Amino acid sequence: MPVKSFSTQLIVLFFLLSFTTQSVLAQYNDLKNNDDIPWIAKFSMDHSFSFSTDSDQQNIVKLIKFYDDPSNMEGAGCNNWVIRQVFQNAIDGYYECYKDSELTQRIPNSDIKSSSVLVDTIITFYPETLEEVIEIKKVEIDPSYSKNFRTKQIIYYNQKTENFDTKLIAVAPLVAMDSDNNLMPLFWIKLDASLPKTFDIHAPNISWGALIDTKGNPLDLNRVEVVKNENNFDFSLFLQQQAMNLDKPVENAKGYGCNIFLTKNELANAYNSIDTIITFDPSTFTETIEIDKYEFDPKDVSNFRLVQEWYYDGKSKKMMNRLKAICPLYLIRNDGVIEYIKDGSPRYAKPLYFIRYN
Q: What is the pTM of this model?
A: 0.79
In the chain, how many domains are there? Answer: 1
Cβ-based neighbours of 252, under 8 Å, separated by 6 or more: 258, 260, 261, 262, 353, 354
| pLDDT of the chain, 358 residues: tens digit per residue | 554 444 444 433 333 333 334 566 677 888 999 999 999 999 999 988 887 656 666 788 888 888 766 555 554 445 678 898 999 899 889 999 998 999 999 988 877 776 555 555 667 767 777 677 776 555 566 677 778 899 999 999 999 999 999 999 999 998 876 666 678 888 999 998 888 878 888 898 999 999 999 988 899 999 999 999 999 999 999 999 999 999 999 999 988 999 999 999 888 877 665 544 555 555 665 666 655 555 666 677 889 999 999 999 999 999 999 999 999 998 766 655 555 555 556 556 788 999 999 8
Structure confidence at residue 328 (pLDDT): 93
The range of the structural domain enclosing residue 211 comes to 3-356
Cα–Cα nearest to 82, from 210, 217, 216:
210
Structure confidence at residue 13 (pLDDT): 35
Cβ-based neighbours of 24, under 8 Å, separated by 6 or more: 42, 101, 102, 103, 152, 169, 170
Structure confidence at residue 18 (pLDDT): 37
User: Which backbone phi and psi does 67 adopt, to 5 degrees?
Assistant: -115, 95
H or E element that contains 98: strand 97-98
Structure confidence at residue 142 (pLDDT): 66
DSSP letter (8 states) at residue 202 = T
User: Which backbone phi and psi does 9 adopt, to 5 degrees?
Assistant: -145, 150
User: Which backbone phi and psi does 44 adopt, to 5 degrees?
Assistant: -115, 145
Maximum alpha-carbon separation in the chain: 80
Question: Residue 306 in contact with residue 323, Cβ under 8 Å?
Answer: yes
- CB burial of residue 202 (10 Å; 0-12, 13-18, 19+): exposed
